[in-house]
A and B are shown apart, each in its own frame.
Chain A
């Protein structure tokens, strides 16, 4: 059974940093692109970043470029999102998601999400 479990969400002050983790199990992690998607309270879904199977390619939404870094550890079946210079508009539930087979960029499995709140 595919499982994705996020952790690391917290209340942080504007300008602060946070590192999110996603523990994957039930599939061969190194075979899949992985993605972070966020959802601000009461709003829709926003793609944040994704990373290729071997970590050689990474892409970001413009609003987080230069502030967020996606990474992965295939030996530990883990995905990460390092978030720096956090802003109020980064407040959201952050979901880890697995991309589809054959590197197709829909998302067939999702974690339960972890809440990041940026506030003073």
Chain B
């Protein structure tokens, strides 16, 4: 089973600044990694799949990078609506399909 570890657990950033979120896998994923955003009371929303491909309608300020076991989600210039919880998810070796524990992005 692949274990997904996200860091940090909480990230405090000011609006307009850059946010960098990390996700590490216990085994190589190639590029089979997705990122999701979840706001309180809402379902998750797909941001990135294939480690770096933005999903339909996702703004260009969101970018994903990495391969193998180390991945990054970067939000280039934070807007107020970006403060949320972010999850990574692997889909290379399953079952199970595992998510990271999440990173809470909060306003500094």
Contact = CB atoms under 8 A, between A and B. Distances in A.
Interface string A31-43: 0000101000000
A105 B99 CA distance: 12
Contacts of A112: 42-43
B43 A110 contact: yes
A59 B95 contact: yes
B13 interface: no
B105 to A, nearest CB: 15
B96 A106 contact: no
Interface of A: 35, 37, 44-47, 50, 59-62, 95, 100, 104-113
Contacts of A109: 46
Nearest to B95: A59
Interface of B: 32, 34, 36, 38, 42-46, 49-50, 55-56, 87, 89, 91, 94-102
A108 B87 CA distance: 14
B46 A108 contact: yes
A106 B29 CA distance: 13
Contacts of A108: 46, 49, 55-56
Contact of A95 (B43, B50, B96): B43
Contact of B96 (A44, A47, A113): A47
5 contacts: A35-B97, A95-B44, A106-B91, A110-B43, A112-B43
Nearest to A49: B95
Given A44-B101, A62-B96, A104 B91 contact: yes
A45 B99 contact: yes
B44 A110 contact: yes
A32 B52 CA distance: 22
B71 to A, nearest CB: 13
